Structure 1
Amino acid sequence: MPTSHARAERAALAELLRVLGPDAPTLCEGWTTRDLAAHLVIRERRPDSAPGIMFEALAGHTEKVRLRQAAKPYEQTVRLVADGPPRLSVFGIPGVDAAANTMEYFIHLEDVRRAQPGGAEPRELDPALTEILWKRAVGSSRIALRGVPVGVALRRTDTGPDERPRTIHKGTPVVTLSGHPGELLLYLFGRKDRARVDLDGDPAAIDTLRTARTGL
């Protein structure tokens, strides 16, 4: 049975967490590798903490659960990341891991890679993974861009210069983001300073998008 992209990204992230240890920086503000690993574990193993990821009123409980996990031995936490969701987790349902975790683990692997001294160049991605990331970038726009007061269009650059922009968020004026699907996804989910993306449009609208909160 071939390894899914979600599993491949998970395995690569778990190995990098092992290599770097618990105190390496990440692009998640205020989080070290220990903090990120704890987040990934409770996301899959503590469903009671999940609502706090989306809803600020419940974030306190989520953070308490995460901190308890982060206080455990780092090697144990990373092992749980590598092992994946338990069978009784919703993420253990066939198909859910690929649907819910491909984007999650791609983004967090880049969070760790690009936060290290000197940064890291974008990886050369499997074309099938690239297509998944493109679909996630388009499909997640309602969540990622909620509250953004300007229009947003995406133009992928991996398919040639004639690719037309695709509007994903209504508003005026429109800012067009151009880049590889993986880079566009990173930009939409708040990794703006590290994503290799070009922005075109009205300068004031570009500034608005750059400073707006995007992602979860």
Structure 2
Amino acid sequence: MPWVQLERSALAATFAATDPEQPTLCEGWTVRHLLAHLVQRERRPLARAIDQLSRNKPGQERRLGTLVDRARTAKGYDELLARFARGPSRWSPLAWADETVNFLEYVIHHEDVRRGGTPPLAPRQLAELELEAIWSRLGTVSRLSYRHAPVGVTFALPAGRGQVVHRGEHGVVVTGDPVELLLCASGRQRAAHVELAGSPESVRRFETWRNS
């Protein structure tokens, strides 16, 4: 089974077991908002684009809010969850590149739900093959995220393997499991379990840039 299907099933189970009003790592969004976002992203791309252009604060998007309001009852939430669990319709552009586009998206949003509550849940124990699949796809996301970093950045696994995600002098090394590094690359470093190494000045410059 493709990794994206396993992650979709796992995320659907987490959505079903979590309070829809619980906050997530996505500022302004509850679990209900995040579920609605995934459905909108896969089934209503035009509405999503309009919401993005409107530049409303997270949690105040007009068209996303319509989906959220329809899911405020238990029945409405279950129906929204069922739409997500079915995946993109076969006519959706996302369905043609499901593994490429959605796999890492689901991994990230799964942790948005799990680590957004109080207390945040511990990292999941994923199969080594899935961790390898995440690691192999990490470079593209990371290079885009760190392209403006003021110092060089290398991602490393605890076992020692590494990949350069931004070339530059006075580099830093960010060490963690693939999911934790993915959270860093997607701007969720405060929730990620990683270690940062480098000269004090390099670390200072990197953290200042990252937190700005």
Please report how far the alpha carbon of residue 207 of structure 1 lies from its aligned counterpart in structure 2 after TM superposition: 3.4
> Match of 1:31, SS?
coil
Partner residue of 1:92?
95
Supply the RMSD in Å over aligned alpha carbons: 2.3
Query: Deviation digits for residues 95-143 of structure 1, max 9, x if unmatched?
Result: x111111101111111111122222221221122111211222121232
Please report how far the alpha carbon of residue 80 of structure 1 lies from its aligned counterpart in structure 2 after TM superposition: 1.4
Structure 1 unaligned regions, length at least 5: none
Picking from 23, 35, 38, the partner of 1:37 is 35
Q: Is 2:76 the partner of 1:78?
A: no
Partner residue of 2:24?
26
Separation of aligned partners in 2, 1:72 and 1:50: 16
In percent, how many aligned pairs have the same letter? 37
> Match of 2:191, SS?
coil
- TM-score of the aligned structures, taking structure 1 as reference length: 0.84
Instruction: Give the letter aligned to residue 147 of structure 1.
Output: H
Structure 2 unaligned regions, length at least 5: 72-76
Partner residue of 2:112?
111
**Do the aligned partners of 2:149 and 2:209 also contact (CA within 8 Å) in 1?**
yes
Partner residue of 2:15?
17
Please report how far the alpha carbon of residue 41 of structure 1 lies from its aligned counterpart in structure 2 after TM superposition: 0.7
Separation of aligned partners in 1, 2:205 and 2:53: 26
Separation of aligned partners in 2, 1:213 and 1:201: 15
Of stretches 123-132 and 35-44 in structure 1, the one that deviates more from structure 2 is 123-132
Q: 1:173 to 1:121 in 2, by over 3 A?
A: same
Please report how far the alpha carbon of residue 49 of structure 1 lies from its aligned counterpart in structure 2 after TM superposition: 4.4
**Do the aligned partners of 1:136 and 1:185 also contact (CA within 8 Å) in 2?**
no
Partner residue of 2:74?
none
Partner residue of 2:180?
183
Please report how far the alpha carbon of residue 164 of structure 1 lies from its aligned counterpart in structure 2 after TM superposition: 4.7
Instruction: Give the letter aligned to residue 34 of structure 1.
Output: R
Question: Size of the alignment, in residue pairs?
Answer: 203
